[in-house]
A = this chain, B = another copy of it.
Amino acid sequence: MTRFSFDLRATDGKARSGVISTPRGEIRTPAFMPVGTAATVKAMLPGSVRETGADILLGNTYHLMLRPTAERIDRLGGLHKFMNWERPILTDSGGFQVMSLAALRKLTETGVTFKSHIDGSRHELTPERSMEIQRLLGSDIVMCFDECPALPAERAQIAESMRLSMRWAERSKAAFGDRPGHALFGIQQGGLERDLREESAEALRGIGFDGYAVGGLAVGEGQEAMFGVLDHAPDMLPRDKPRYLMGVGKPDDIVGAVARGIDMMDCVLPSRSGRTGQVFTRRGVLNIKNARHADDPRPLDEACGCPACRGYSRAYLHHVFRSQEIISSMLLTWHNLHYYQELMEGMRAAIAAGRFEDWQAEFHALRSAGDIAPL
C-alpha cells in the first residue's frame, strides 16, 4: 500500500511544484481543491469535477457530522463511496465552521459545544471527536482541530487562541494515532503577528505532521495583509512537506500564494460564483447577468475547453441564468472549476519550466486588459 508522501520536483523562486502520493491517487501541486461541503461539489457530478482536472476534493466535517452524520457515512462505506469520488479527500476539522455557522457556541479547553444551524440539536467537537469523525468519513488528509479568531483581533486574543490550537494540535496528533496511507496536517495560527506565526510553526514542527496548513487567513484581513503573512509564514514550515493555505481564494490570491511557496488551496469561490453568475476567465471576472451578454453569440472564453464554452453562447448562459434554470449553475460552476484547474496546471508547468515570473506577468497583463469588448 502506498504511503502518504510528498515529492517536491521543481522550484522557481519560492514557488514549488510537486506530487503528493496517496493510496487513492496522486495530487499534483500546486493543487486547488474544490469544496464538496455536504458530500457534493454543488451543481457538479463527481466525474465532471474530475474532468476539470481536480485531483482531490475537500469535505466539511461540520456539515457532514450534522447531516447525514459521520456514523451513517461510515456504515455506508465511507465518504468516498457515499459521494462516488474515488480519489483523495481532505476534510477540515469542523472548528472553523462551528465558529462561523453554529449557534450558542461555548469554547473551553476541552473543545466547543454548539447547536446545529439545521435543527438546533446540541453537539460537541473536541480534538478527539474531530479525529474520530474524520476517521469515520475515511478522509485521506485529516486536519487538526483548531480555533481561529476573526481578524482584526487583539494580539493577546490571537496569542491565546494560537496556543490553545497548539495544545489541540498535540491532542489531535495523539488521537489520530498511526494510520498508514492517511495524513494528518497541523495548522499554523498567529494572525498577522510574525513572532506568533513563528511560535506556532515551532510548536507544530515539534509535534511533527505530514503536512502543514497556514490557517487564520482569508478571514477579512485583505490581500495585502495576507500576502504580508505569506511573505514569511511558509518559510517557517518544513520544506519537504506540503503547505496548505486554507480557504483561498480569488485567482490572484492563488497566484500570489503559490509565488510565496504554497502547495495546496481550497475555496468555495468558483462553485459559489457559478451559482451567482460570476464567471472567472483569463480576462478577469464577468457577470453573466449583465444585459450586455443578452445577444452575444460568443463563448465566455474562446480559448476555454469546458462544456460551457464549447457548447454555449454568452447569450444562452445569460438567458438560463435570468430564467433561474439549474443548467446555469451547472455550466457556470463547471466553467469556473475548469478555469481554476487550468490556472493550477499553468502554474505547475511554468514552475517546472523555470518561467513562473514570466507566467505571472502574462497572467496579470491579460487580466488587466479586461473582458472582450461588447459587440
Binding site for B on A (CB under 8 A): 38-40, 42-47, 67-68, 72, 75-77, 82-84, 294-295, 297, 307, 311-313, 315-316, 318-320, 322-323, 325-327, 329-331
Contact = CB atoms under 8 A, between A and B. Distances in A.
Given A72-B295, A297-B76, A40 B84 contact: no
Contact of A307 (B45, B83, B323, B329): B45
Given A40-B320, A40-B327, A82-B319, 12 more contacts: A39-B319, A42-B325, A42-B327, A45-B327, A45-B330, A67-B323, A76-B295, A76-B297, A82-B313, A84-B311, A84-B316, A326-B326
A326 B315 contact: no
A76 B313 contact: yes
Contacts of A46: 311
A357 to B, nearest CB: 39
Contacts of A316: 39, 76, 82-84
Contacts of A45: 307, 327, 330-331
Copies in the complex: 2
B330 A326 contact: yes
Contact of A42 (B76, B82, B322, B326): B326
Contacts of A294: 68, 72
A143 B326 CA distance: 27
A291 B331 CA distance: 32
Nearest to A327: B40
A319 B68 contact: yes
26 contacts: A39-B316, A39-B320, A40-B325, A40-B326, A40-B327, A42-B325, A42-B327, A43-B330, A45-B307, A45-B327, A45-B330, A67-B322, A67-B323, A68-B319, A72-B294, A72-B315, A76-B297, A77-B297, A82-B313, A82-B315, A82-B316, A83-B316, A84-B316, A326-B326, A326-B330, A330-B330
Nearest 6 CB-CB pairs, A to B? Answer: A84-B311, A43-B326, A68-B319, A40-B327, A38-B323, A40-B325
Contacts of A44: 327
A327 B76 contact: no
Choose among A45, A72, A75, A313 the residue with the greatest number of B CB atoms under 10 Å from its CB. A45
Contacts of A323: 38, 67
A295 B325 contact: no
Given A76-B297, A295-B72, A38 B330 contact: no
A159 to B, nearest CB: 38
Contacts of A311: 46, 84
Nearest to A43: B326
A343 to B, nearest CB: 24
Contacts of A297: 76-77
Nearest to A312: B84
A322 B66 CA distance: 12
A292 to B, nearest CB: 14
Nearest to A81: B313
Contacts of A313: 76, 82
A31 B327 CA distance: 24
Contacts of A330: 43, 45, 326, 330
A68 B315 contact: yes
A297 B75 CA distance: 9
